[in-house]
Amino acid sequence: MTQDFTLLLPITYALIELMGVIAALEAILKSRTTQGAMAWFLSLVFMPVIVLPLYLVLGRRKFQGYRKARRMGNKGIHIIPPDARQGLIPFKTTEQLLSQDDKVLEGITAMPFSRGNKLELLINGDEFFPMLFEKIDQAKEYIALSYYIVRADSTGQQLKDRLIKKAAMGVHVYFLYDEIGSLKLEQSFIQTLNQVEGIDFVPFHSTKGRANQFQLNFRNHRKITIIDGHCALLGGLNIGDEYRGMDQALSPWRDTGICIEGPAAASIQLAFLEDWHWATENIPTLNWQPSNNIHSDINSLVLPTGPADSLDSCTLIYLHLINTAKQQLWIVSPYFVPDPTVISALTLAALRGVDVRILLPKNPDHLLVQWSSQAYLKELLTVGVKFYYYREGFLHQKVSLIDDLYTTIGSPNLDNRSFHLNFEINLLSKDAGFAKKVKTMLEADMACSQQLHLDDVNKWSLPHRLLTRLSNLLAPIL
């Protein structure tokens, strides 16, 4: 028995080493950067026992299963009736109102700018959840929801009760939740909804498919509600009590959402439908005849991004917005761990004389992320980028303002995870009136913030600076 074990050990190690070499070659072919490819290659070849499991879980950059589902013959997403996209054509923003920069964004996302949209800014859970419940109560045909986190607390129970009530009235409910983000969701909550006729409550299944069984690094981070194809809600708020300021450790909770009525809601619905098709391999019957809002004519562009895109779409969008800013660039995010390319773009914007401001939470929910973000501060402060730390509770909103004209509100954080590993969605508006409302909101947030100065960073101790650099080594997966 001892002799058999002695023979088995080197054979097992040889197999692991072989798998490490194969994985290392894959890393060379598929890693996003040369540095990343070299780091994976050396680690997999020389430390396969330790690194191979990490590579299986964290190493993949593109969600191949989802990408293949987009091309699956008669089962592919392209079998949606042609009027799904054709219906948006009559509401497309006229060429005269679009700059070349606008058309670049359309090209990145394959989505059109649309006119005739009404946008309502929703500040904090006090405004978001009453609007969410009101729109659900008004639904006549169907409700489509997709949330990263769903909790079975009082907020989740209120939503569940409303959805059950609407299902009893003949309104179909399509509810998608991320299986990792909602890992703590009680089975009783899931079973209750799944037992109701007219409610489909399904996980996004980032681990669906043989090739994805160990790949736990992708997330569906979108927060979407769609009502009858005419109205949609987006933002940073998930379904849980903390998003209503009911978490003692992180209260008051600072977040932002948006309610969209008009053709842009149909574009949001397209993004939801791709996710639903991946999770269920079914295509529900939805309304693809958008209606414009006669009381408002805001030009808007839906920006869905994710690891199934052929391009690094989220990175490209933010780089484009940063590079096109002429006077002003304000960005709000709970996390700030971006690519070196984004750091370079922010540096160039500040050197061009753009008023670059980054608003972050002073009290983080993840210390490691905050330490990692501090590695960039001295470099950016030196060229004139201004940093503000929000002091009134936890800041979770994902908002940007460019040149008092463009705004984005949605789910992406300013970090590598949102840029490369998460399915995200933003709404970009091109409207000075709406931008003014967003600016007023952000000015109030900055009034509740503490500005960080270069002298403050220079006073950090050597151990603190070392901690920030060590934390930043994990930036690609934070």
Q: Mind telling me the catalytic residues?
A: 221, 223, 228, 396, 398, 403
Q: How far apart are CA 345 and CA 319, in angstroms?
A: 7
- Whether residue 244 contacts residue 250, with contact meaning beta carbons closer than 8 Å, is answered with no
- Indicate the burial class of 223 (C-beta count within 10 angstroms; 0-12, 13-18, 19 or more): buried
Q: Which two tokens stand for residue 311?
A: 């391009």
SS3 state at 418: helix
- Amino acid at residue number 96: Q
Instruction: Give me the numbers of helices (H) and strands (E) for the chain, helices first please.
Output: 18, 20
How many Cα atoms occupy the beta-carbon half-sphere of 33 within 13 Å? Answer: 9
- Indicate the burial class of 369 (C-beta count within 10 angstroms; 0-12, 13-18, 19 or more): buried
Alpha helices in 47-99 (DSSP H): 48-58, 64-69, 83-86
Using the Cα atoms of residue 364, residue 367, residue 368 and residue 370 in order, give the sign of their dihedral. Answer: positive
- According to DSSP, residue 317 is labeled H
| Tokens 């969600």 sit on residue | 63
The string of DSSP letters for 115-160 reads EEEEEEEEEHHHHHHHHHHHHHHH-SSEEEEEES-B--SHHHHHHH
| Tokens 């194969």 sit on residue | 22
Q: Which two tokens stand for residue 42?
A: 């050396």
SS3 state at 165: helix
- Number of neighbouring beta carbons within 10 Å of residue 170: 10
Rounded to an integer, what is the distance from CA 318 to the centroid of its chain? 13
Distances (CA, A) of 8 to 2, 13, 16, 52, 475: 10, 9, 12, 19, 38
Using the Cα atoms of residue 286, residue 292, residue 294 and residue 297 in order, give the sign of their dihedral. Answer: positive
SS3 state at 206: coil
Alpha helices in 173-289 (DSSP H): 187-194, 264-280
Q: How far apart are CA 211 and CA 14, in angstroms?
A: 23
For residues 131, 133, 138, 144, the Cα torsion angle rounded to the nearest 10 degrees is: 100
Cα angle for residues 289, 294, 296 (degrees, 5° grid): 110
Q: How far apart are CA 122 and CA 233, in angstroms?
A: 10
